[in-house]
Amino acid sequence: MKELLGILAASAIAFTGSASAAGWPEKPIKLVVPFKAGGTSDQVGRVLQAGIQENKILDQPITIVNVGGHFSIGARRVKEATPDGYEFLLIHIALMGGEGTGALDFGWRDFKPVAGLGEFCIAPMVRKDSGINSMAELLAKAKDEPDTLIFGANLGAINHLAGLMIQESNPGSKFRFVQIGGGTANYTALTGAQTNTTVLSGAEVVQFTQLPDGSDNPESQIKPLAYSGAERFSGMPNIPTLKELGYDVQFCINSWVFAPKDAPAEAVEGMANALEKSAQTDRYKAFIKKKGFSDNFLKGDALQASMQMTWDAIEPIAKLAKKK
Extended beta strands in the chain, E state = 29-33, 62-66, 87-91, 111-127, 150-153, 176-179, 197-201, 222-224, 252-260
Task: Choose among 47, 60, 45, 59: nearest CA to 17.
Answer: 59
pLDDT at 236: 85
On whether both 116 and 257 belong to a single domain, the answer is: yes
The answer to whether residue 324 is domain-embedded is no
Based on the fold, state whether residues 262 and 186 are members of the same structural domain: no
Based on the domain organization, do 97 and 75 belong to the same domain? yes
Q: Which domain holds residue 209?
A: 121-224
- In a shared domain, residues 259 and 113: yes
Confidence class of residue 307 from pLDDT cuts 50, 70 and 90? very high
Whole-number Å distance between alpha carbons of 87 and 30: 5
Is there a single domain that holds both residue 47 and residue 109? yes
pLDDT greater than 50 at residue 16: no
Domain annotation covers residue 241: no
Domain count, the chain: 2
Average pLDDT, the chain: 88
pLDDT digits (tens, 9 = 90+) for 77-125: 999 999 999 999 999 988 998 898 888 899 999 999 999 998 889 999 9
Summarised one tens digit per residue, pLDDT across range 285-304 is 999 888 778 888 999 999 99
In a domain, 10, yes or no: no
CATH number of the domain within which 181 lies: 3.40.190.10
Q: Establish whether the linkage from the previous residue to 25 is cis, with ω within 30° of 0.
A: yes
Confirm whether pTM is higher than 0.85.
Answer: no
- Which stretch of DSSP H or E encloses residue 203? helix 202-209
Residue 57 and residue 205 in one domain? no
- Three-class SS of residue 148? coil
Question: Taking 60 as the threshold, does the pLDDT of residue 58 lie above it?
Answer: yes
- d(C-alpha 34, C-alpha 104), whole Å: 14
241 neighbors 249 (Cβ within 8 angstroms): no
* Residue 43 reports pLDDT greater than 70: yes
Of 250, 294, 317, 315, the C-alpha closest to 108 is 315
* Residue 212 covered by a domain: yes
CA–CA gap between residue 141 and residue 174 (Å, rounded): 9
Asked if residue 204 is part of any domain, the answer here is yes
Q: Which residues pair with 29 in a beta bridge?
A: 62
User: What is the percentage of the chain residues whose pLDDT exceeds 70?
Assistant: 92
Q: Burial-class residue 142 by CB neighbours within 10 Å (0-12, 13-18, 19+).
A: buried
Please report the pLDDT score of residue 324 as a whole number. 55
Q: Is the pLDDT of residue 27 over 60?
A: yes
Given the DSSP bridges, would you call strands 87-91 and 29-33 parallel, antiparallel or unpaired? Answer: parallel
Please choose, from the candidates 74, 34, 26, 18, the residue with its C-alpha nearest in 3D space to the C-alpha of residue 267. 26
Distance CA 234, CA 211 (A): 15
What CATH number does residue 289 fall under? 3.40.190.150
pLDDT digits (tens, 9 = 90+) for 213-250: 778 889 999 999 999 988 888 888 899 999 999 998 88
pLDDT digits (tens, 9 = 90+) for 161-204: 899 889 989 999 999 999 998 888 999 999 999 999 999 988 88
Q: Which among 214, 199, 305, 180 has a CA at the least distance from the CA of 252?
A: 199
Report if residue 229 sits inside a domain. Answer: no
What does the alpha-carbon distance between residue 62 and residue 58 come to, in Å, rounded to a whole number? Answer: 9
Q: What's the Cα-to-Cα distance from 244 to each of 7, 122, 168, 183, 241, rounded to whole Å?
A: 56, 15, 17, 25, 5
For residue 52, give the 3-state DSSP assignment. helix
Compute the distance between CA of residue 11 and CA of residue 201 in angstroms, rounded to an integer.
Answer: 42
Same domain, 218 and 303: no
| 280 located within any domain | yes
The amino acid sitting at 75 is A
Specify which residues 32 forms β-bridges with.
65, 89
